[in-house]
Amino acid sequence: MSEEKYWYNLVTGEIEHGRQSSWENRMGPYDSREEAQAALTRAQRRNDSWDAEDHEWKS
């Protein structure tokens, strides 16, 4: 099943189909190549949202 998924490789910036690199260097799994390509953008949006929530909580 995992061979059908996609991962974003943090070292190379490439999309991998199936597990090709170490778990330390990849984000995923994702159901599509497009989702994997958007991995960093999605992570940044989540981080920004959590930072805003933290700021509100501390205020």
Q: Is the dihedral of CA 48, 53, 54, 56 positive or negative?
A: positive
> In the chain, how many domains are there?
1
The predicted pLDDT at position 56 comes to 80
Domain that includes residue 49, residue range: 2-58
What pTM, to 2 d.p., does this model score? Answer: 0.75
- State yes or no: pLDDT of 2 exceeds 80: no
pLDDT at 59 over 80: no
Whole-angstrom Cα distance, residue 51 to residue 40? 16
For residue 20, give the 3-state DSSP assignment: coil
**What pLDDT score was predicted for residue 1?**
55
Q: What is the pLDDT of residues 5-40, one digit of tens each?
A: 999 999 999 999 999 999 999 999 999 999 999 999
